[in-house]
Chains A and B, each alone.
Chain A
Amino acid sequence: MKRITLKSVTTEAKLLLIGIPVLLWTIIPIYHMVLFAISPRDQATSGRLWPKNPTLDNFAFVFRQKHFYLEHFWTQLGNSLVIALSVGILTLAISTMAAFAISRLKVRGGRTVMNLALFTYCIPAAFLAVPMYKTMGNYGLLNSQWALILAMVTIASPYCIWVLKQASDKLPYELDEAARMDGATALQLFRLVYLPLMVPSLVAVGTYALLLAWNEYLYAFLLLSNDASLTLAVALGNFLSADDSPWELLMTTGLIYAMPPAAIYYTFKRYMVSGLTAGAVKS
């Protein structure tokens, strides 16, 4: 049994003195969202910190698409999902291949490709948005979901290549040499040696790209305009265009939209944190 001393009580108090404000700061905007989602319409703005009659009616409302703004809820949720998955898979394929070539095959010009990718990574995405919008117009892709998918792959892949390259530099080269001695081609090396060893980093990177696409607002709202092809992110933003928008439904939809990424994040937390911070700490 640990003895409770005056000193240990003071330490605990000091820790709480920081911990409580940190907790409040973090949780208030999210709690406010939850509060709206479980409040009946007429009580949503009553200023109570817990609704008198908590209800799940708002969720039923959203799921049955019973509001002008929610007409396409399921379609838009589906769009978000399809786009996020496509971006995740495409980014994963493109960046794994590039990282493999740069790090393991040591292709000529690999360093240059890495630098080009890093350059893209460092451009603020909002500054590339307008040129990207004009470009998609030129390619005739505006209002097609491909425009958003390709734009997000462009934005997500540089970081993925970088993280994957850092991880694959750490794999022992003897493995490649042994496989080469046994007559493995580059493709076999990639499929049978490289991919299985890289699984943790691949999970981190794939999740990163998927979440980036699911969460994206600016590009989605520039590149898509047809109500039925929008992602949920843009649909949420559109609630703002009217003064009388139903807050409780907006917050309910927002909560539904926020839950999958949070769940994915906490499931893969171990991979995400180590994968994403590994590169940063080195520099």
Chain B
Amino acid sequence: MVFVVPYLLIFLVFVIYPVGYGLWLARHPDSYVRLFADPIFPRTMINTVIFVVVSVNLKMIVALLLSGYFLNTRWWVKILAAVFILPWAVPSIPTILSMRFMLNPEWGIINTLIFRVTGMDGPNWLNDPTLALSFSMLAHIWKSLPFWTLILLAGRMAIPAEQYEAASVDGATTWQKFKFITWPSMRSLYLTSTILSMIWTLGDFNSVYLLTGGGPADLTHVLATLGIRYLRLDQVDLSLASVVVALPLVLPLLYFMMKRLSK
């Protein structure tokens, strides 16, 4: 029993207490009235849903396809696989800042190249809310795609090769092999990964904050950055209310994950 005490202490002091204290601080109905009255809030909710639904599905589909690609044992595909992990292996601050500089309207390399080729000024990428949010999603996908590709690759490698060989003998096409062998054995892993990725994507602060800072005009906030914005404005009650509002989104996912993982 002594062996679990350190973790239980950590859990009580740094999980239970903060969660309880946070809920207690967020108890005033007034905080929610003011939160819903803030014009930034509905926009943030829409952004959050778009951010999660689009980037998670896009990322998982590409990861599923690429995991099949990386099964290939050619030497240069192996090298490519090692390079492909880089976004996940390096911290996100410098790489996202690097993307931010690339997109700078005056000095960024993208607009400099556009000017050189076309003689015209490129768009002010991060000054348009739709473009800015899209680039945040791309930054998020760039960072997390390698991880999910690895997970799905491990799933694919667990499928016995004999199944594919037998299918080849029977003259199955690539699509049939995917439909009748790969997908049935990957479906559960794919679903679990999607749900877990949704939870983590909801909590992705860096991709939005470091690229757009929530701007222009606070139009690209997601729930993860909105809470911090309120905190910096010294509106702790609004900040915690925005987290509580996210619970109906998070709890079902959390429940699903718990059931899967604790099996």
A contact residues vs B (CB 8 Å cutoff) = 15, 18-19, 22-23, 25-30, 32-33, 36, 45-47, 93-95, 97-98, 100-102, 105, 107-111, 113-135, 138, 150-151, 153-154, 157, 161-162, 186, 190, 214-215, 217-218, 222, 233, 236-237, 239-240, 247, 250-251, 253-255, 257-258, 261-262, 265-266, 269, 273, 276-278, 280-281, 283
Contacts of B203 in A (CB 8 A): 123-127
Is there a chain A Cβ closer than 8 Å to B37's Cβ? no
Query: What string of 1s and 0s marks CB contacts (under 8 Å) between B203-224 and chain A?
Result: 1111001100100000000011
Q: How far is the CA of A159 from the CA of B64 in the complex (A)?
A: 24
The listed residue (B69, B83, B108, B263) touching A18 by CB distance below 8 A is B69
**Known interface pairs A126-B227, A251-B98; 15 further A-B residue pairs with C-beta atoms within 8 A, sorted by A's residue number:** A19-B69, A46-B112, A47-B112, A120-B15, A124-B200, A127-B202, A127-B246, A154-B15, A217-B93, A218-B209, A237-B93, A280-B189, A280-B193, A281-B158, A283-B192
The answer to whether A273 and B150 touch across the interface, beta carbons within 8 angstroms, is: yes
B89-A266 in contact (CB<8A): yes
26 cross-chain CB contacts under 8 A: A15-B74, A29-B87, A47-B109, A94-B6, A97-B3, A101-B1, A105-B3, A116-B15, A122-B199, A123-B254, A124-B200, A127-B202, A128-B15, A128-B19, A130-B239, A134-B22, A157-B7, A157-B10, A215-B93, A236-B93, A255-B94, A257-B91, A262-B89, A265-B89, A281-B155, A281-B189
B236 within 8 A of A: yes
Interface size class of B (residues with CB under 8 A): 35 or more
User: In the bound complex, what is the Cα–Cα distance between A98 and B154 (angstroms)?
Assistant: 27
Give the nearest-CB partner of A119 in chain B. B258
Once A94-B7, A281-B155 are accepted as A-B contacts, the answer to whether A25 and B109 lie under 8 Å apart by CB is: no
Asked if residues B22 and A130 are in contact (CB atoms below 8 Å), the reply is yes
Residues on the B chain within 8 Å of A222, using CB: 228, 231
With A124-B224, A154-B10 known to touch, is A233 a contact of B93 (CB < 8 Å)?
yes
Which residues of B1-59 are within 8 A (CB) of A?
A: 1, 3-4, 6-8, 10-11, 14-15, 17-19, 21-22, 25
B107 in contact (CB, < 8 A): yes
What are the nearest 8 A-B pairs in CB distance? A124-B203, A254-B94, A131-B22, A47-B112, A101-B3, A131-B18, A126-B224, A265-B89
Nearest Cβ in chain B — how far from A18, in angstroms? 6
Interface residues of B, Cβ cutoff 8 Å to A: 1, 3-4, 6-8, 10-11, 14-15, 17-19, 21-22, 25, 66, 69, 72, 74, 76-77, 80, 82-87, 89-99, 101-102, 107-109, 112-113, 116, 142, 146, 150-151, 154-155, 158, 188-189, 192-193, 196, 199-200, 202-206, 209-210, 213, 223-225, 227-228, 231, 236, 239-240, 243, 246, 250, 253-254, 257-258, 260-263
